[in-house]
Structure 1
């Protein structure tokens, strides 16, 4: 059966509920005009639109692979929304984020994943480790797992630090071929004993067309606001797609490195 092409809804913020004071980006819980709550990631926060791009690409690729990700939506923030906010820091953030932002469905009642409490089976652990190697996600350590338990299932969140090649200024071609050294600190690495099998499976699922369909979701305005290169939005989308295609075609680099790192741990 053909896989459905990714498609994101757009909602409008109607109420700022509370900030989530974790890290430096000040995400917030907001209510939207569909009456649902979302964790809102602001384009005016520290890493700008690139963090939203990483969140979008990583989240939708994970969904294609069958991993559990809260629904991702585009969130419109009206220019007048922050005028009554008493906190000056939050007011500045709201003003800098007018227009299109990114939201993830708020998993009410979810609890932070604790590896000492919840055991993840080898297949799922291997899938998550493989996925984080692909997208170069540095934020899945024991200190900051960025996983939640919701309705007795494991959900992945917070991928804004992934795809960090777009911050470095170094040639993307070189970075696409590198193994992922930070995988040695991945909270699920000791359980990831099926990386080779997952690699064979996921390489089949993530076709260039599917990667392209995700990259095409990136809004133009996120691709022009903080880019000094002068590349057009289409050119920047093409770089993301080529980075992922290259990394996928050479996945043995990061799979072998992850297997070697796991052997050291166990």
Structure 2
């Protein structure tokens, strides 16, 4: 599966929002459109939620006919589709579609709020920590992206672009006290987080100590993505053994936002944290 640049993904987001707008203007349901264009309802929903890694201009012409778009609207939709098909790739891995969407959101978000309970979040893991995690997984359960090569490439693409988002990363003290690879690796991992916190003004790293007791993120791990320009709604990403979920309903997103704010208030700056 290809992984696109942030620019290409923004183009797919634009297409998704236009398809929703045009379908609603035409007064058609997903089922009605599926019957007319001989396409599955699932694919239509994926297109409207920017969860397809490729948008074909031929499909856009079909939608334009069904939705009775003007020549100008049709031309714009086809142009966007052609831009999304350009080989504007930065790396290729065998990535599950749900995580593929997560990667694109990570690259285009203007703000990312993270809460992790037991592990250091993948974006900020050092290689020794990654390898120690991999050593604890049986080969048959390792996914295609479990190696450090994928994670290091992901980190490089995130950190070496022209602009960075604001990141508020709140972790539980439990994540820093897990014996992943031994005390030397954990000490190096902690120092890496402290260095990022010092060197990047847009990054905030905090630790909820055991002494904080109950807080609203207790027992959870999640990410909240914010996007400028209104092209994509604020979205919560949840990952579990059963797969990944994306939450966009405002009332649900607000609940996670309040939880993150509450936990951040009870957390200490990572620069003050000492691993004993």
Same fold (TM over 0.5): no
TM-score (norm 1): 0.31
